[in-house]
């Protein structure tokens, strides 16, 4: 079977490694950091344990499919717990809304919270469900780069497909769709917030991404015991069982091509490694710009502006006393979402009154903090790094903004008295630790009513023999999508490798 080199050991890289090894390929994974899992890293400090990056896990079926490639059961590798409520939402007017896991409980909650919107909420979820189904059929589990790739042209004229296309509501944004269904501003803010899973503004993202709501509300929010770090650990164990070679501390500086085709990688320090095919789990734009270059990079750029998604600041706070009124996942919403999104996405400035996400995992796994304490994780989305953003100077003031928000809106007035240990992750840290595009947490932004959902495809159109996996490639960011992206990259590679023909030589055409 063919030899494959994988650049980067984030979730996409690990998923690709497992899938390829399960199908008999000889896989070597090269990771520049000392740990595997990329952003799904862990911070242990003074008896507290924090997930450093992702905390909300949805769609475990993606992981199940990757484990099934090797005939394994996910449950033998990962202990997943379904959370209820999925989120607890705190609003500036003092009201609190739990997003219940159970639909009937949610209906009863809304009868008190926003009685005029009970039906509208159901209607929104129906739309989200339809969009999620259409995504499953046309968008997921295959390499897609634009509308052309989504459909089989032979069937595209059928009435059923036409109805699917119309259901995509290409003339609407996420915010347009939410406002059509619900009137209560607080409920609308909660529903619009699902688009933060891809680091984009609801005012500019296509309505098809409302499907994200169904992927959570319908399929649940899950916590892996051991923290989200347990996900890359499980994948690494599987990959080791399947014979993948891991090399950490290796930074790839160049992908070599012959006749336009990817043939080898060059690591810092001069080591050259030849492979039949290469998967890059490094940011897609930086892969083309920094590892490939030349005409492939020029062609990649043509026709489409590639803008990073948002970045963020994370405070990791070890508290000596827990806040009992928090759920596992909490959102402390801004007073005015339009202002907040304008500042972050249009003006490129941190929001003055931001939405803060709080994870309090001791609710589910008490061992993350010393007894009675709390390993609090607070994430606030910020713009990606712009010229003049110096977070070593911006952080002290913004830390104060975040803590003031928690005091004002989430009933945590004495938070500073409870902090016994503290650490932080800034947009600059995210940029430097994970080698992403301008500090982006979620790859490329999903703005644009027609093209917003499309990312660079997993089978490179520019460089035969090169495949892309990770949050900045199709189908996009977030744990389930990055994992799926690794599976698709592996599946595309496998199809090419077993087709018995060499990949197309673009340079010769």
The contact set with ligand FAD (CB under 6 A) reads 7-13, 30-33, 38-40, 53-56, 251-252, 281-282, 312, 314, 379, 430, 434-436, 441-442, 470-471, 477-479, 482
Residues 53, 40: Cα–Cα separation, whole Å: 5
Of the pair 191, 310, the CB lying nearest ligand FAD is at 310
Of the pair 203, 282, the CB lying nearest ligand FAD is at 282
Of the pair 202, 471, the CB lying nearest ligand FAD is at 471
CB of 482 to ligand FAD, least distance (A): 4
First to last CA, the chain: 28
Of the pair 11, 209, the CB lying nearest ligand FAD is at 11
CB of 180 to ligand FAD, least distance (A): 27
CA-based torsion, 229, 232, 238, 240: positive or negative: negative
Nearest residue to ligand FAD by CB is 10
Q: Sort residue 466 into left (φ over 0), alpha (ψ -120 to 50) or beta.
A: beta
Structure-token pair, residue 499: 């087709």
CB of 80 to ligand FAD, least distance (A): 14
Query: Are the CB atoms for 338 and 203 separated by under 8 Å?
Result: yes
Of the pair 8, 361, the CB lying nearest ligand FAD is at 8
CB of 253 to ligand FAD, least distance (A): 7
Query: Are the CB atoms for 35 and 41 separated by under 8 Å?
Result: yes
CB of 312 to ligand FAD, least distance (A): 5
CB of 486 to ligand FAD, least distance (A): 7
Specify the DSSP element, H or E, that contains 177: helix 174-181
CB of 449 to ligand FAD, least distance (A): 23
CB of 416 to ligand FAD, least distance (A): 22
Of the pair 329, 449, the CB lying nearest ligand FAD is at 329
Of the pair 337, 475, the CB lying nearest ligand FAD is at 475
Of the pair 13, 227, the CB lying nearest ligand FAD is at 13
Q: Which residues contact 301 (CB under 8 A, 6 or more apart)?
A: 288
Question: For residue 38, what are the CA distances in angstroms to 18, 35, 120, 489?
Answer: 16, 7, 39, 18
**HSE-up of 73 (CA within 13 Å, CB side)?**
4
CA-based torsion, 212, 136, 448, 300: positive or negative: positive
Which of 375, 365, 402 lies closest to 321 in space, CA to CA? 375
CB of 56 to ligand FAD, least distance (A): 4
Of the pair 173, 280, the CB lying nearest ligand FAD is at 280
Could you give the maximum distance between any two Cα atoms of the chain, in Å? 68
Pairing of strands 374-382, 356-359: antiparallel
Q: Which residues contact 68 (CB under 8 A, 6 or more apart)?
A: none
Which of 65, 3, 236, 218 lies closest to 127 in space, CA to CA? 218
What secondary structure, in 3-state letters, does 25-92 show? CEEEEEECCCCCCCCCCEEEECCEEEECCCCCEECHHHHHHHHHHCCCCHHHCCCEEECCCCEEEECC
CB of 83 to ligand FAD, least distance (A): 12
Of the pair 54, 85, the CB lying nearest ligand FAD is at 54
């Amino acid at each position: 079977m063919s030899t494959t080199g994988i650049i980067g050991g984030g979730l996409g890289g690990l998923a690709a490694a497992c899938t390829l090894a399960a199908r008999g390929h000889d896989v070597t994974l090269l990771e520049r950091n000392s740990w595997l899992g990329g952003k799904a890293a862990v911070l242990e400090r003074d008896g507290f344990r924090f997930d450093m990056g992702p905390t909300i896990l949805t769609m475990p079926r993606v992981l199940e499919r990757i484990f099934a490639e090797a005939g394994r059961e996910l449950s033998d590798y990962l202990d997943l717990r379904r959370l209820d409520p999925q989120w607890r939402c705190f609003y500036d007017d003092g009201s609190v809304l739990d997003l219940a896991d159970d639909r009937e409980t949610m209906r009863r909650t809304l009868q008190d919270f926003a009685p005029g919107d009970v039906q509208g909420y159901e209607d929104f979820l129906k739309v989200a469900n339809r969009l999620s189904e259409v995504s499953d059929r046309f968008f997921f589990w295959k390499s897609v780069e634009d509308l052309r790739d989504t459909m089989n042209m032979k069937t595209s004229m059928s009435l059923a497909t036409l109805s699917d296309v119309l259901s995509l509501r290409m003339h609407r944004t996420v915010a347009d769709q939410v406002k059509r269904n619900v009137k209560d501003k607080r409920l609308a803010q909660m529903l619009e917030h699902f688009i933060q899973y891809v680091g984009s503004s609801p005012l500019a993202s296509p309505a098809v991404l409302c499907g994200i709501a169904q992927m959570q509300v319908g399929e649940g929010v899950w916590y892996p015991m051991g923290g989200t770090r347990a996900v890359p650990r499980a994948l690494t164990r599987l990959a080791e069982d399947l014979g993948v070679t891991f090399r950490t501390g290796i930074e790839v500086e160049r992908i070599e091509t012959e006749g336009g085709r990817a043939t080898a990688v060059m690591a810092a320090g001069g080591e050259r490694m030849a492979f039949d095919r290469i998967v890059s789990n490094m940011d897609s734009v930086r892969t083309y710009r920094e590892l490939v270059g030349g005409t492939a990079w020029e062609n990649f750029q043509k026709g489409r502006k590639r803008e990073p998604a948002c970045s963020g600041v994370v405070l990791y706070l070890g508290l000596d006393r827990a806040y009992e009124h928090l759920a596992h996942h909490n959102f402390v919403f801004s007073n005015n979402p339009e202002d907040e999104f304008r500042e972050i996405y249009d003006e490129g400035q941190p929001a003055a009154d931001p939405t803060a996400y709080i994870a309090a995992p001791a609710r589910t796994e008490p061992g993350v903090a010393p007894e009675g304490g709390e390993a609090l994780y607070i994430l606030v989305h910020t713009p990606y790094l712009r010229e003049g953003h110096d977070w070593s100077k911006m952080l002290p003031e913004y830390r104060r903004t975040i803590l003031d928000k928690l005091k004002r809106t989430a009933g945590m007035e004495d938070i500073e008295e409870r902090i016994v240990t503290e650490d932080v992750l800034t947009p600059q840290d995210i940029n430097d630790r994970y080698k992403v595009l301008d500090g982006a947490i979620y790859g490329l932004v999903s703005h644009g009513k027609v093209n917003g959902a499309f990312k660079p495809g997993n089978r490179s159109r520019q460089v035969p023999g090169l495949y892309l996996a990770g949050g900045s490639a199709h189908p996009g960011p977030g744990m389930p999508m990055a994992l799926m992206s690794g599976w698709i990259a592996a599946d595309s590679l496998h199809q090419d490798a077993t087709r018995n023909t060499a990949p197309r030589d673009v340079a010769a055409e």
